[in-house]
Structure 1
Amino acid sequence: MWRFNYFFIFLLFPIFCFSQSTYSLKSDVYLITSANDSKSKEWANYTYNQFEQQSLEKNIIYSTSVENASYKDAKKNNGIYLVLDPNLAYDYCIEKTSTKISLKVKNEKTSKWIINQLLAVLSKTDHRFSSHNLLPAIIDFKTDCINFDFSYREPHFYYNLQKNNAAILNTNNVETDWGLWGHNLHKIITKKPPTLYAEVNHKRLPQQFCFSSVSLYQQTLNYIVNNYGNGKKVTYRFMIMPNDNKLVCTCKHCLSLGNTTSNATPAVTYFIKKLAERFPNHHFFTSAYLTTKTPPKEKLTKNIGVMISTIELPKGIALNEQQTPSRNFIKQVNAWKEKTENIYLWDYAANFDDYLTPIPVLYALQEQLRFFKKFAIKGVFLNANGYDYASFDDLKTFISAALMLNTEVNIDNLIKAFFQKEYPENHALLTNYYLSLEKNFKAKRKKYPLYGGIREILNTYLDATAFTQFYKDLEKIIPKTTGNEKEKLKKLFTALSYTRLQIGYALEDKPLGFLIKNNTQTTIKPRTKQWLASLKAYKNYPELKNYKEADGALPVYCEAWETNLLNTPYKNFLINTKIELLSEADESFKTTRLLNNGILGFASDYHQGWYINSIGNMVLKFTTLTLQQAKTIKLRFLMHEKHKFYPPKKIELYIDDVLKESKLKENLIIENGVAIYTINLNFSGTENVKLKFIQKELGKSSIACDEIQIF
């Protein structure tokens, strides 16, 4: 049976000052009292310690143990009290009268959060309290009873993962709230009998599990018992997902449960139900993904839920029920709602190919969270930069956490309050730039790419001119800034130096570019080395090691700049010659400029300088009338098996429409992930050249060429 725990915080108000339904919480002294049960005393001690830590003056905070004249006088006054009631119908309630404000909360987590909210509000009027480690309050203590819009709230930014921040923000955290997360079931397995694995076409395959396996169940059970107990003291969540592939076990037992060659839901559900029955105080989640996309036939128990991905929904714009992706999403949610009330979303708030370039996600996030709320979604895991630093990471964590509590918060006001609090010396610069990012992007009504390079970024959410001015302004103010704010801005500037390099790379020889073109030769502008030197300060920040989710190591990126672009002038007789595409083009590659812009691509990143063709054989043609002295063609192709980039299996070279050369893959040289073909040829007396790149016969393979160099 639930036990009622009451704890009261009495704050003394000799005079109450009302102004537009709010008033000052300032008092001469503050008395903290609690009921006699252990839980209440524990929370009273916590609150007393919090007030003491924030207090700049002695003898203004009292607890029940302080039996003196001030305490006795304090008891005669009305004030504020808080009640902790696990059976409260709301997450918190505020009741205000002319002499008293009453706070009731449902759980200890919200108790800690609301105390921080109280101290943040109090410090604004009572300057005897410091607010140096408090974020701005998002509630105003008006009379109301509130349920948070989502019960599970995780903004998966770096800032949220730092110690104590989840408690301050009232958010969740994969490191503390989950005993098992993602596709990590394999990590808890120690014994590996053959029957542990899926039977596919009468063979046991270690790439997938058999979810009717007795060994798999027993090992999972032991892992939970040994590491997380039965859940009576602390409740944890466990994600039970098949490995990330489309293999399904079709052993005799799994087939009897209902498995098919493409649907693992029956066996996975059987497995989860056994765990949920064994651990009624823990919560277990499946996923609507690949082989478990189909809901089970039976109703699930109260401690079982599902995680649904929103990856098919456009990001950066408001959702409505008329959009095809939205209709499909609603249909999926409704199908699962028939089986469980516990529907969590795996949502997104980042460009996973560029963490460091500022991306405006907050306005659209508010719109989309409102949309999700309409369909009674219980929880949101907002996937972002996670364990890596991102520009404005702290701001986005704060605002997205507030939005998950209340989708109707005023974003602009909170942005201003956050920068005023966290960056007091330079809040105006930061506020103006970030708000302009959000407002300008919203006006475009475009979705942003979840995986996009700098050219897509410049076409959607980033204004190169505005960013460059902000970058310059930031560089100027950092030397004048002091303390922790200076350190935070130095880290931000380091990250933004990546963006400055990217803009320079994309804009080539334009005013904001990095390049100087002189007929058939290119060199770099001197300031490019300054941007790179600024980025290399990433070495000072352990969390600033990657610029994207996968294969984004900054040391590799910096080395590519130094190796490919900074060392020597680059010559290519083809730079000013038009290259005609005779075959079909991919959507983002209608022009062939990347093939002779004088800039080599980065082997570590297919967004960086590569002209991509995924449709079929690629055919190019260009005049040789200005190339009469040339003797050599050099072609570079990206090799990246993970993303299915391969060099052509064959290259045909035609001069004046006559086949002259046919190069096979055996003729290439491979250097650091780049395949290089070199063709020696006399261009004297010729009129044109046609190149035909014949693609490998592999499913969804692509050709990526960065430069056709002629010299």
Structure 2
Amino acid sequence: MCRFKRFVWLWGMFSLLSSSCKAATFDFATSQLLILSNGDKESAQAADYLFGHLDKRNTDRSKFRIQRSDTNLEGFRGGIVYVEIVEDLESDYEIINEEGRLSLFGRNRAVLRWLSYMLIDRLGDYHRLDIADIPPSYIDFKTGKVDFAFRYRDPHLQPNLNQDLSGILLTHNVDRDWGLWGHNLRKVFVEGIETEAMALVDGRRDSEQYCFSSEKTYQAIKAFVLEEYGRGPRDARWFMIAPNDNDKVCTCASCRKLGNTAKSATAAIVVLLNRLTKEFPLDYFYTTAYRTTREAPKIRLAERAGVLLSTIDLPKSPQLKMETPSVREFTTLLQSWKAQTSHIYLWDYISNFDDYITPFPVLRRVQRQLAYFKKMGVDGLFLNGSGYDYSPFDDIKTYVLSAVMIDPSLSVSDLVKRYHQRFYPVSADLLTSYLLEIEDRLDHNNSDIAIYSSFRQLMKYGLDADRFNKFYADLVLLEPQLSGEERYRIKRLIDVLSYTKLQLDYHQGNLANGFLEIENDMCRFSNRNDLFIRRLRESQKEGITNYKEEKGSINLYLREWEQLKSSVIPVNKFKISKASGISSGELLDEAHLLSDNKLGFVSDFNQGWLLAGEDIRAIGHNLNKRQGPVRLEMRFLLNPRHRMYVPDRVELWNGGIKIMEFTSSDFVLLQDIATLKKDVDLSDHTDLEIKIYKSKELKNSVIACDEVQLY
């Protein structure tokens, strides 16, 4: 450290003396390079790392010679890269760029590893280095002291699970860096929760919540940390000390004395966090601002303690309108916590959890919101994405998001272009133009696309079907021209995007465009999308397993298609005109689903089902020409987790007169489907009004109906 201070002082004096003329800078094209450190263990290891990874990539040693030493080599003529770890550095890293010497200072080896790859890529502009597998550098190596915009940076996408890549990008990873995450405090009670560690709720000990002032709770956490990680020396770990996901709060005498109320457990938890930071000064201890810990504490958190807030209720539009109630409420919450801690992390969202595969623009939205987050005191981000599952463009998203969390001023367009040029040399223009086009459209429209969006919503608010179809077709045409890793990646992209092609076919397909075919008054699906089904099945061989968060198996999705393809149903003679809520009178935009001749997917309530949270009225026409009874058939999805139950009753009306009624006992239940199937005489009834009354089992139950059939 003394050498560092002496070096900086001398360099500063030199700068003052030479300020009257333009200073010369380091020549990256130098034919000889010496990697130098001050010789201390950590710095020497960092220098060895840079030397080893640079030297092994040097493909022309006759023109570029690299040496390594901890002392200046007598007679050496060339450029020197000096590397030093300075634990108490005032900034995250510092660069001093002068003639003949480039000095890199970082707080730890992780920072210097990241700087090493940035430098290797920069040197690759001047020398024959094998850098095909290194993400492009985005720092200019000018003299300066730099702090990262955010201390904790975790893009939760599949590429970031790769520890080597995470090191190159200088990102964090929830599986690697957190000893406890989420609502998992139960893990510390290895032999079960002792009574004294249970919350006292309404005068009784409750095993579903914890007493955070209990010595037993503290000792259990302490024992867990020591058993799993020891005291060190080791890398720092983060620990989430959060209540179970319920509204129970301990109100024992000790917790109440610390400040707990019947609705808030924040006080006792913050005291516990502060105590743990003293016990384990290497580590970080966080809680969540959620449910019983949403309210900020009245005391300040310790330096290595903090809070995690979710942005679930914050609009997912690039430009936040500060006057909207949701933004004002979130700002107030942030400010209340900012008053008591310097460490606020956000749990943000970067995927559509109802559809991991259909392209979902997030880069410009995240970048634009970073300025607001930074202003509000946020210093860490967990960007929750498709995580362990593949999603299209997850590699470029991981790279860009990791970069803008370090420096939000970087150009997203430039990062996207340079990354694609590096890893997709032939298809770069095609990929870049499409990705930036959908990003720019979202940015221009300031669209707020929900993180749980059905495909119908995506078509309405975000997805340009014609543009996607052209992109897909261009990829298919380009694939034969590719080779190696690029061909593998593009083939995988084509295969998995066949899901979106199938989705478009399902939602846009009808009798007129050939998606459905009629023979002998029976309706069936055509074979025009068999190629997309085969390609999507191929994606499973490439490790693609899920297309959404819940019940999202691609294998299950393909089985649904097989079921549809093998089914033949009578042509529906009921033609829907409109549907509305009986109480609200609001029209239902998706009323057409009730007579489109397409059955819904049993495994996915967003696929073909009309959803309504109130009793509904459907108005349409009976197109049957024959006299006598016809078959009425209605299907309803049963999904208790999402409050979908058998309707209380169904009524048929004509001309303001109720002509028949069916109750829940008339339905046939088979696994997840309730079917009403009755022969009815509608000979004199052309205009029909069908009223569907939702289940009374639950106040906020939901109707899910895919088809009202008459045949």
| TM-score of the two chains, using structure 1 as the length reference | 0.91
Q: Which residue pairs with 1:15 in the alignment?
A: none
Pairing partner for 1:51 from 54, 65, 81:
54
After TM superposition, the structure 1 = structure 2 runs for residues 607-646 of structure 1, keeping only pairs within 5 Å, are 607-614=606-613, 616-624=614-622, 626=624, 628-629=626-627, 631-646=630-645
The answer to whether the 8 A contact 2:236-2:284 is kept is yes
User: How has the CA–CA distance of structure 1 residues 575 and 126 changed in structure 2, closer, same or farther, with 3 Å as cutoff?
Assistant: farther
Matched, 1:388 2:393: no
**Is the 1:24–1:125 contact (alpha carbons within 8 Å) kept by the matching residues of 2?**
no
Within the alignment, does 1:404 sit opposite 2:369 as a pair? no
The 8 Å contact of residues 154 and 173 in structure 1, kept in 2 or not, is answered as yes
Distance across 1 between alignment mates of 2:452 and 2:163: 29
**Contact 2:152/2:379 (CA < 8 Å) preserved in 1?**
yes
Secondary structure class of the residue paired with 1:109: helix
Preserved CA contact (<8 Å) 1:265 1:294: yes
* Preserved contact between residue 199 and residue 250 of structure 1 (Cα < 8 Å): yes
By how many angstroms is 1:317 displaced? 2.1
Q: Does 1:186 align with 2:186?
A: yes
Deviation per CA, 1:121-159: give whole Å up to 9, x if none: 1112211x1002211001121222211111111111111
Counterpart secondary structure, 2:642: coil
Contact 1:344 1:381 in 2 (8 A): yes
Change (3 A) 1:331 1:45: same
Gap change, CA 1:627 and 1:216, over 3 Å in 2: farther
- Residues 520, 456 of structure 1: alpha-carbon distance in 2 compared, 3 angstrom cutoff: farther
The residue identity in structure 1 corresponding to 2:460 is N
- CA displacement at 1:422 relative to structure 2: 0.7
Distance 2:321 2:57 in 1: 45
SS in structure 2 at match of 1:642: helix
Contact 2:348–2:382 (CA under 8 A) maintained in structure 1: yes
Residue 430 of structure 2 corresponds to 429
The residue identity in structure 1 corresponding to 2:161 is L
Deviates more, 1:685-694 or 1:465-474: 685-694
How far apart, in 2, do the equivalents of 1:277 and 1:94 lie? 34
Q: Which residue of 2 aligns with 1:141?
A: 141
Amino acid at match of 2:681: N
Letter in 2 for 1:150: F
Identity rate, percent: 33
Q: Distance in 2 between matches of 1:350 and 1:513?
A: 33
Deviating more after overlay: 486-495 vs 587-596: 587-596
Is the aligned partner of 1:39 residue 2:37?
A: no
Which position in structure 1 is the counterpart of 2:335? 334
2:64 is equivalent to residue 63 of structure 1: no
Tell whether the 8 Å contact from 1:238 to 1:284 is kept in structure 2 after alignment. Answer: yes
Q: How far apart are 1:105 and its partner, in Å?
A: 1.9
1:501–1:531 contact (8 Å) kept in structure 2 = yes
In the TM superposition, residue 3 of structure 1 has moved relative to its aligned partner by: 9.1
| Displacement after TM superposition at 1:427 (Å) | 0.8
Structure 1 residue 645, shift from structure 2 partner:
1.4
Deviations 1:146-182 (A, max 9, x none): 1111111111111111131111101111122111111
Q: Structure 1 residues 511 and 362, CA, compared in 2 at 3 Å: closer, same or farther?
A: farther
Cα distance, 1:513–1:250 mapped onto 2, change above 3 Å: farther
* DSSP 3-state at the match of 1:635: strand
After the TM superposition, which residues 427-506 of structure 1 pair with which residues of structure 2 at under 5 Å, given as runs?
427-506=428-507
2:138 is paired with a residue whose SS is coil
Q: Given that residues 506 and 513 in structure 1 are in contact (C-alpha distance below 8 angstroms), is that contact kept between their aligned partners in structure 2?
A: no
How far 1:689 sits from its partner (Å)?
A: 3.5
**In 1, Cα distance between the equivalents of 2:204 and 2:606?**
40
- 1:367 and 1:518 mapped to 2: Cα distance? 54
Alignment of 1:265-304 (within 5 A): 265-304=266-305
Q: Is the 8 A contact 2:30 2:79 kept in 1?
A: no
- 1: CA distance, partners of 2:190 / 2:572: 61
What is the alpha-carbon distance in structure 2 between the residues aligned to residue 512 and residue 230 of structure 1? Answer: 68
Q: Amino acid of the residue matched to residue 54 of structure 1? A: R
Residue 666 of structure 2 corresponds to residue 667 of structure 1: yes
Residues 514-593 of structure 1: pairs in structure 2 closer than 5 A: 514-516=515-517, 521-542=522-543, 544-563=544-563, 565-574=564-573, 576-581=575-580, 583-584=582-583, 589-593=588-592
More moved, 684-693 vs 672-681? 684-693
CA offset at residue 275 of structure 1? 1.9
With over 3 angstroms needed to count, the CA separation of the structure-2 counterparts of 1:352 and 1:47, relative to structure 1, is same
1:583–1:619 contact (8 Å) kept in structure 2: yes
Rate the CA distance shift 1:144–1:314 in 2: closer, same or farther, 3 A. same
Counterpart in the other structure of 1:312: 313
What residue is the counterpart of 1:12 in the other structure? none
Provide the residue aligned with 2:11 in structure 1: none
SS at match of 1:31: strand
Task: Output the CA distance in 1 between the equivalents of 2:440 and 2:494.
Answer: 22
For the 8 Å contact 1:504–1:512, the answer to whether it is kept is no
Query: Which residue number corresponds to residue 354 of structure 1?
Result: 355
Tell me: CA distance 1:340–1:495, structure 2 relative to 1, closer, same or farther (3 Å): same
In the TM superposition, what is the alpha-carbon distance from 1:483 to its structure 2 partner?
0.5
Q: Which residue of 1 aligns with 2:174?
A: 174
1:214 corresponds in structure 2 to: 215
Within 2, Cα distance between the matches of 1:242 and 1:515?
52
Distance between the aligned counterparts of 2:514 and 2:417, measured in 1?
A: 32
Q: Structure 1 660/685 Cα, relative in aligned 2: closer, same or farther at 3 Å?
A: closer
Q: 1:235 is matched with which residue?
A: 236
1:200 deviation in Å? 2.8
CA RMSD of aligned residues (A): 2.7
The residue aligned with 1:703 is 703
Shift of 1:430: 0.7
Cross-structure match for 1:11: none
Q: Which moved more, 1:339-348 or 1:397-406?
A: 339-348
Contact 1:263 1:294 in 2 (8 A): yes
For residue 240 of structure 1, report the CA deviation from its aligned partner.
0.9
Aligned residue number for residue 373 of structure 2: 372
Give, in angstroms, the shift of residue 529 of structure 1: 1.4
Distance (whole Å) between structure 2 residues aligned to residue 226 and residue 3 of structure 1: 37
Alpha-carbon distance change, 3 to 247 in structure 1, aligned in 2, over 3 angstroms = farther
Aligned partners of 1:189 and 1:219 also within 8 Å? yes
| CA 1:562–1:484: 2 relative to 1, 3 Å | same
Q: 1:393 to 1:185 in 2, by over 3 A?
A: same
Partners of 2:354 and 2:393 in 1: CA distance: 16
Q: Which amino acid letter does the alignment assign opposite residue 683 of structure 1? A: L
C-alpha distance after superposition, 1:527-569 (max 9, x if no partner)? 3111111111232133x21111222111111111111x21133
1:606 aligned partner: 605
Flag structure 2 segments of 5+ consecutive residues without an equivalent: 8-21
**Aligned equivalents of 2:550, 2:654: Cα separation in 1:** 42
Partner of 2:17: none
Q: Which amino acid aligns with 1:145?
A: K
Q: In the alignment, which residue of structure 2 is the partner of 1:16?
A: none
Contact preservation (8 Å) 2:509, 2:515:
yes
Give yes or no for contact 2:581–2:588 (8 Å, CA) kept in 1.
Answer: no
Verify: 1:650 aligned to 2:649, yes or no.
yes
Cα deviation, 1:343-396, whole Å, max 9, x if unaligned, reads 111111111111111111111111101121122311111111111111100000
Cα distance in 2 between the residues matched to 1:42 and 1:463? 51
Whole-Å separation in 1 of the counterparts to 2:317 and 2:604: 24
Give the SS at the match of 2:419. helix
Question: Compared with structure 1, are the counterparts of its residues 513 and 213 closer, same or farther at alpha carbon in structure 2 (3 Å cutoff)?
Answer: farther
The 3-state SS of whatever aligns with 2:608 is coil
Shift of 1:583: 2.1
Between stretches 85-94 and 160-169, larger displacement belongs to 85-94
Give, in whole Å, the separation in 1 of the partners of 2:623 and 2:320: 54
**Corresponding residue for 1:686?**
685
CA separation of 1:404 and 1:673: change in aligned 2, threshold 3 A: same
Shift of 1:232: 4.5
Which residue in 2 is equivalent to 1:13?
none
SS in structure 2 at match of 1:707: strand
- Structure-2-length-normalised TM-score: 0.91
Deviation at 1:667, TM superposition (A): 2.9
Determine the C-alpha separation between the residues in 1 that align with 2:415 and 2:27: 20
**Which shifted more, 302-311 or 575-584?**
575-584
Q: Deviations over 1:596-629 (max 9, x none)?
A: 1111111211211111110x22222333363545
Mapped to 1, the partners of 2:475 and 2:315 lie a distance apart of: 32
Q: Is the 1:520–1:576 Cα contact (8 Å) retained in structure 2?
A: no
Greater mean alpha carbon deviation, residues 500-509 or residues 196-205: 196-205
